[in-house]
Amino acid sequence: MSQTQANLVEVRGIRFSRGDRVIFDDISLSVPRGKITAIMGPSGIGKTTLLRLIGGQIPPDRGEILFDGENVPQMTRSRLYTVRKRMSMLFQSGALFTDLNVFDNVAYPLREHTHLPPALLHTTVMMKLEAVGLRGAAKLMPSELSGGMARRAALARAIALEPDLIMFDEPFVGQDPITMACW
């Protein structure tokens, strides 16, 4: 919507519950545009749930979740689909498609959201794989990857569209000390 807004994400007074269990009650936060923001807390506190709320995967019981000024819970499915080109989520599990090789996993959002010619798509995917240290893994299946490699393949997919917002759920799970040093 507006590149001039200081905050890319604003969560205002959200309440979210599952059955009788209230997970969030009147939670508000801001994520400044272009800044790294960490949400930290013990296991089971709701960090993943908050990311899923911001990404529009689940709706809050009440409150607003603004992405670049637009209220995510009020978006139509088609508008949310369009907005998701600008946001990406790296799940704890990596969430790679098991029946696609690494190249096709990374290419998936590019094929889904762009009309890149095949040569440019190939170059872009290989650049993303290079960026995460997996250039040689393009033809491997997810089952052939170590946990850390699978997370890096998922990261390559998450950055494929160069989104404005990347949400990392447990970003350091499964990473070796050398990869951690790169962060």
Does one domain contain both 26 and 71? yes
Q: How far apart are CA 91 and CA 156, in angstroms?
A: 13
The pair of structure tokens assigned to 149 is 């490699």
Which amino acid would we find at residue 39?
A: I
Q: Residues 107, 68: one domain?
A: no
Final residue of a domain: which of 60, 75, 90?
A: 75
Q: Is 139 helix (H, G, I), strand (E, B) or coil?
A: coil
Domain presence at residue 89 = no
pLDDT for res 40: 86
On whether residue 93 sits in a domain, the answer given is no
Query: Do both 113 and 68 map to the same domain?
Result: no
- Both tokens of 72, joined, read 């995510």
The structure tokens listed for 153 are 């393949």
Owning domain of residue 158:
102-182
For the stretch 20-69, pLDDT in tens is: 999 999 999 999 998 888 888 888 889 999 999 999 999 999 999 999 99
Q: Are 167 and 51 in contact (CB under 8 A)?
A: yes
Is 82 part of any domain? Answer: no
pLDDT band at 110 (very low <50, low <70, confident <90, very high): very high
Q: How far apart are CA 109 and CA 127, in angstroms?
A: 15
Instruction: Tell me how crowded residue 71 is: count the other CB atoms within 10 A of its CB.
Output: 13
CATH number at 52 reads 3.40.50.300
CA distance 163 to 165: 5
Residues 19 and 64 both lie in one domain = yes
- Please state the pTM of the whole predicted model: 0.80
Distance between CA atoms of residues 162 and 143, nearest Å: 26
CA distance 96 to 91: 10
Establish if 81 belongs to a structural domain: no
110 falls within a domain? yes
Q: How many domains does the chain have?
A: 2
Residue 179: the pLDDT is: 54
Q: pLDDT at residue 102 above 80?
A: yes
In a shared domain, residues 45 and 106: no
Same domain, 128 and 166: yes
